[in-house]
Structure 1
């Protein structure tokens, strides 16, 4: 492993976790978005990650949740159909919040590794310049 491989690997982790955090933020912001029953529901973004040959990680794709969502009986809603239903996202908020914690911790860990590597390299350069 080269001297700067740690920074490259941690940087890839930062990028992947940032994408995951962005997707979760969008999902949580749209958790209560309802549409009429003749439209598709908000589709939550599901980030897929995969290992790279060099030890890093990349976002390999973003899958979308079921466009059918779920029907919610809310006859007072302005978008309700004749039977009083609206279409809401099929999303479990507790799962989204759990994933948010995991993504935050992963981002923090990658950031800490980056900081430690930078500090180590700075110390090594300081020793070498004496």
Structure 2
């Protein structure tokens, strides 16, 4: 492992976790979107991540959840069909918030590794003076 590998690897973690946080923010903002039963439901963004050859991590894809969503009985909603149903996204706030906590912790860990690496490299430079 080279002298700056820790910074590179932690930087890739920061980028992946930032993308995950962005997707989760988009999902959470739309978790209560309701459409009529003849329209597609909001599709949540689902990230997949994988290892890079150099030891880092990267987003390997962004899939979308089902456009079918789930039918919810809301007879008073203006978009309800004749039977009182509307279409909601196939996700819930609880799972999105749980993922948000994981993404935040991963981002914080990558940021801390970056700080430690910078401090270590700074100390090594001072020793060399």
> Structure 2 length normalisation: TM-score?
0.97
Structure 2 match to 1:86 = 86
Q: Which residue of 2 aligns with 1:30?
A: 30
**Take 1:15 and 1:90, find their aligned partners in 2: how far apart are those partners?**
27
Cα offset, 1:30, TM superposition: 0.7
Per-residue CA deviation, residues 96-122 of structure 1 (Å, 9 max, x unaligned), is 111111100000000000000001111
- The number of residue pairs the alignment matches comes to 129
Question: Is 1:96 the equivalent of 2:96?
Answer: yes
Q: State the alpha-carbon separation in 2 of the partners of residues 116 and 104 from structure 1.
A: 18
Partner SS, residue 81 of structure 1: coil
- Where does structure 1 differ by over 4 angstroms across 4 or more consecutive aligned residues? none
> Which moves more between the two structures, 72-81 or 7-16?
72-81
Q: Deviations over 1:53-99 (max 9, x none)?
A: 11000000001111100011111111111111110001032211111
Within-5 A mapping of 1:3-82: 3-82=3-82
Superposed, 1:100-119 pairs within 5 Å as 100-119=100-119
Partners in 2 of 1:102 and 1:76 — Cα distance?
37
3-state DSSP of counterpart to 2:2: coil
Shift of 1:3: 0.6
CA RMSD of superposed structures (Å): 0.7
Paired with 1:87 and 1:51, the residues of 2 have a C-alpha distance of: 37
Do residues 127 (structure 1) and 101 (structure 2) align?
no
For the residues of structure 1 that align with 2:32 and 2:92, how far apart are their CA atoms? 11
